Each structure stands twice: as structure tokens, then as C-alpha cells.
Amino acid sequence: MRRRLLGALAASALVAALGACGGGDEASGGKTEVVFSYLWAGEEAAALEKIITDFNASQDKITVKGVSSPDFQKQLTSMSGAQGSFDISDHFGSGVGAWASKGILTPLDDFIKADGYDTKDFPAAAMSQMVYQGKTYSMPIALHTQMLLYNKKLYAEAGLAGPPKTTEEWAEQIAKLTKRGADGTITQLGYANAEINTSFTTLGFMFGGSWDDQSGASTPANPGNVAGLSFYTDNIPGKYGVEQVRKFTSGFGEYASAQNAFYTGKAATIIDGEWQPVAIKKFAPTLEWGVAPLPYPSAQPNLAGTTQVTTSTLFIPRNAKHPKEAWEFMKYLLAKDAMTKFSLALGNLPARTSLVDDPQYKALPQFDAWLGALKSTNARSLASSPWAAQYTADLAQAFDDIAQQRKAPNDGLAGVAQKAKSYAP
């Protein structure tokens, strides 16, 4: 999921070069062939192909042809012509606004209205990213929330009973869980970012911040955002030295591998997503770990249960040859049975609130914590705006400057706020 997201952000920057308006030919037996070009690969693609096979066997009017194509640039290129090479595909919620503003997505509202399709079962934090200027351009197939993961063995060694409830408690624990040699060299960090961009935006939410206002305008310099990033700098590079932190983290292994810093005990706590139970089972089956709600400032107990929600979405390109048939297949993927199979195979959260308590998810260790976060009134998400790609790039640069202490949090985010004045739909 992380690799797909990074690729999506890079590809979104190409949207400005695209124009507008599908794929698929008539299959044998009089069926309409719908091409589903999806970005998943490997085990995830195999799970998706099983669902495609089930759909094809469920009716006699449509044949879906699945094509694994984890290439965002190719996806966008196809969508820029008069007739594309596919009828339905997937992306992330953060890119909906940018793509919709360029006219390369098919609005789904007429399909939704004609079928009386109920979207109320999808969390508001997810659906808010599906809409641009009052029209729905995409639908969520899977969700992702952020929680605090902690190493139980390292906690026991530090004499800590359990995870923190408040950010003040977390700061104390970070200090007890960070180890250094006689020369100041770090050998263990109490907290390390699993993925800097998502962790930093989540920290902003945890301190009551917001990265966008109700109109969708970017608000990077929100005081809560500054407080969240200040928490990181105060407790990690500001306390142990940016050079020492850089030296230590440069030795971290690949994220999706047995050398992941959290799996090897180099990082005692991280903020990360619901795919971790599946990943830990695969890469670190003996790891003693736990998951807990993100801590909140003691002075702001109303922020308990804060999490960031991101979405994996389905869309129909404007130049799809068979949009009606693609919508029929989309509805199948969004139905409870297919969604459950899909999300379980990927270790992702279902996009329907009615599936949160489904017992099938009990098979994934400690998965309930991420599922429960979907119910939180403090589930937050970034706005899906036309300038999301530029905003993301500017934030990434600022986050790096702040993490490396080239800039203080307030200065770094103020710089992004200045750049945001030039953003245009």
C-alpha cells in the first residue's frame, strides 16, 4: 500500500498535462468485455482475480478482464485520449479532486440516483474525499487508519506497563525507550516515523490541527499542526541531536521486509496502518507487539480517538467505452461479500461501517483497534483538492526540513502556507 501511495503522489503531478475522455471490446458469447486495470500486484492481484472470476460467473452479460498494471503514468496517459484502454481502475482518495478538476473522471451521481444506491454505509471521512464540487467521482473500496504500535518486549525491559494515553505520557516513554551508547550514539529510538508524511500529518490531527479548512483551502500553519510537529522535534532530533538521529535511522532496513526497524527492535513505537498485522505475521512472526489508540494532549481529552483515514478508491474514466457495465462491476466490488474478501486478503479495512463488527476480521491479530478507529468521531482525512499533488510535495519538503532541523516547525509550515496562496484549481 505504501509503495502504491508514493507512486500515486508522483503520478498526480502529471494530471495538469492531461485533457479528457474507454476500453473494452465485445467479448465472445455476446457479453460486454469490461477492462479492469488495477494497480495491485502479486498476492493482492491474485486475490482480486478470484473476485473477478466470481463476478464473471455470477451473471451472463458482462465479462471483466483484469489487468495488473502498477504504473500510474500509463494509467493517466490512457485517460487523456478520446478512447482509453480500460473501463474501471483504482487510485487513492487524495487524488480525486485533482483528477475530477481535469475532466478525466466520470461522475457517478446519475448511476447512484438511477439505482437508488445508498452511500450512507461509507464513513463520512472517506466519502468527503470522493466528492468534488458537489459531484461524486469515486467510491472507496478499502480504508486505512493510523494507530500507535509498540514493542511489548522493549516496554517490559524499560519497566513500562503499557502504551500511553496522553502525549505527555508518550514523551516520557520515548525518553525511557531511547538508548544511547557512552559516545551518544543511538542504539534504540523510543519513536520513529514509519512513513514521514503520513505520520506528520497524523501528529497534526492528534494535536487538534487541520491541514485543510471546510472550503478545501490548505491550512498547513494551523497551530495544532505546528504543535504536532513540535512534539516530534522536541522529543527526537531536538533532544538527541539531528546528526545522531540521522545516522541511526540511515541504518533502518526496508519497510516491507524482516529488516523493518520496528520488527528488529530499533524503534519501540511507530504510527502505522492496519496492514501491519499481516506484514508482521509474514516478516516478524515472533515479534511481541501491541497496538493502541493514538495519544492525545492531556489538556484536550476531546481529541481522544483521533486517527487519520486514507482511502483506496475505484473510479470510471471519462473515456471508458462501457461506463454502465463498469458501474455494475463496481457495485459488485463494493458489496459486502466482495469487499470482505478483498480487504481481508490485503489486510485492509473495509470501506463499509456495517462490516466493522464482522467476525471474519477476528482472524487478523489486534485488527479490532484499527477497525474501531473507523467509528471515531475524530477520524480525520486530508481534503481531496485540485492542488493536492503540489500541496503534498510542498509538505513533504517542509517535513524533511523540519525533521532535519533545517527549519523550525512554525517556519517550515508558514513557508508552505505562503506557497499555498498560489495554488489554483
Same domain for 170 and 315? Answer: no
Q: Does residue 423 register a pLDDT over 80?
A: yes
With a cut of 90, say whether residue 205 has pLDDT above it: yes
Q: Are 141 and 90 in contact (CB under 8 A)?
A: yes
27 falls in which pLDDT band (50, 70, 90)?
Answer: low
- Please tell me whether residue 195 adopts helix, strand or coil conformation: coil
**Does some domain include residue 80?**
yes
Characterize the bridge pairing of strands 147-151 and 289-292.
antiparallel
Confidence of residue 43 (pLDDT cuts 50, 70, 90): confident
Let me know whether 300 and 159 are in one domain: yes
Q: Give the other-Cβ count within 10 Å of 201's Cβ.
A: 25
Inter-CA distances, 259 with 32, 127, 192, 283, 348, Å: 47, 36, 14, 8, 22
- Which pLDDT score is estimated for 232? 98
Closest by CA position to 265, among listed 275, 281, 253, 277: 253
Same domain, 70 and 115: yes
Q: What is the 3-state secondary structure (H, E, C) of 350-414?
A: ECCHHHCCCHHHHHCCCCHHHHHHCCCCCEECCCCCCCHHHHHHHHHHHHHHHHCCCCCHHHHHH
Give residue-wise pLDDT tens across range 12-25: 443 433 333 334 45
C-alpha distances in angstroms, 190 versus 166, 178, 292?
Answer: 15, 5, 15
Q: Is residue 275 part of a domain?
A: yes
Q: What is the rounded (10 degree) CA torsion for 88, 91, 94, 96?
A: -20
Confidence of residue 425 (pLDDT cuts 50, 70, 90): low
137 and 9 both lie in a single domain: yes
Mean pLDDT of the chain: 91
Mean pLDDT of the region 245-250: 96
- DSSP tag of 4: H
User: Helix, strand, coil shares of the chain as percentages rounded to 5?
Assistant: 45, 15, 40
User: Are residues 20 and 119 part of one domain?
Assistant: yes
* Contact assessment for residue 210 and residue 372, using Cβ atoms and an 8 Å cutoff: no
Among the listed residues 229, 208, 222, 218, the one whose alpha carbon sits nearest the alpha carbon of residue 398: 229
- Residue 273 CA to residue 293 CA, distance in Å, equals 12
320 and 198 within one domain: no
Percent of the chain surpassing pLDDT 70: 93
Residue 154 falls inside a structural domain: yes
Q: Is residue 379 part of a domain?
A: no
Question: Which stretches of 148-254 are DSSP H helices?
Answer: 152-157, 167-177, 196-206, 223-235, 237-240, 242-249
- Measured distance CA(338)–CA(323) in Å, rounded: 20
Q: Are residue 123 and residue 32 in the same domain, yes or no?
A: yes
Q: C-alpha distances in angstroms, 54 versus 48, 323, 356?
A: 10, 20, 23
From the centroid of its chain, how far is CA 10? 15
312-325 average pLDDT score: 96
Beta-carbon count within 10 A of 32 CB: 19
Q: How many distinct structural domains can be found in the chain?
A: 2
* pTM of this structure: 0.87
Q: Is residue 42 part of a domain?
A: yes
Does residue 191 belong to any structural domain of this protein? Answer: yes
Is 380 a domain residue? Answer: no
Determine the Cα–Cα distance for residues 332 and 323; give it in Å rounded to an integer: 14
The predicted pLDDT at position 23 comes to: 40
- The residue with cell 464540487 is 133
Q: Do 264 and 164 sit in the same domain of this protein?
A: yes
Q: Which residues, in sequence order, are CB contacts of 164 under 8 Å at separation 6+? A: 148, 170, 172, 173, 292, 295
Helix (H, G, I), strand (E, B) or coil at 282: helix
297 and 333 co-located in one domain? no
What is the distance between the alpha carbons of residues 267 and 127, in angstroms, rounded to a whole number?
Answer: 34
Residue 25, pLDDT score: 54
CB-based contacts of 337, cutoff 8 Å, min separation 6: none
Domain-embedded: residue 204: yes
CATH of the domain at 158: 3.40.190.10
For residues 309-316, average pLDDT = 95
DSSP string of 115-168?
A: HT---TTS-HHHHTTTEETTEE--EEEEEEE-EEEEEHHHHHHTT--S--SBHH
At 194 the pLDDT is 77
| Residue 316: per-residue pLDDT | 98
Mean pLDDT, range 391-407, rounded to an integer: 96
Distance separating alpha carbons of residues 376 and 298, to the nearest angstrom: 18
Domain of 46? 2-144+310-374
Q: Are residues 63 and 151 both part of a single domain?
A: no
The pLDDT tens digits of the residues spanning 327-381 come to 999 999 999 999 999 999 889 999 999 999 999 998 899 999 999 998 899 999 9
**303 and 344 inside one domain:** no
Percent of the chain surpassing pLDDT 90: 80
Q: What is the mean pLDDT of residues 198-203?
A: 97
Q: How far is CA 396 from CA 238, 391, 410, in A?
A: 20, 8, 15
- Asked if 221 and 317 sit in the same domain, the reply is no
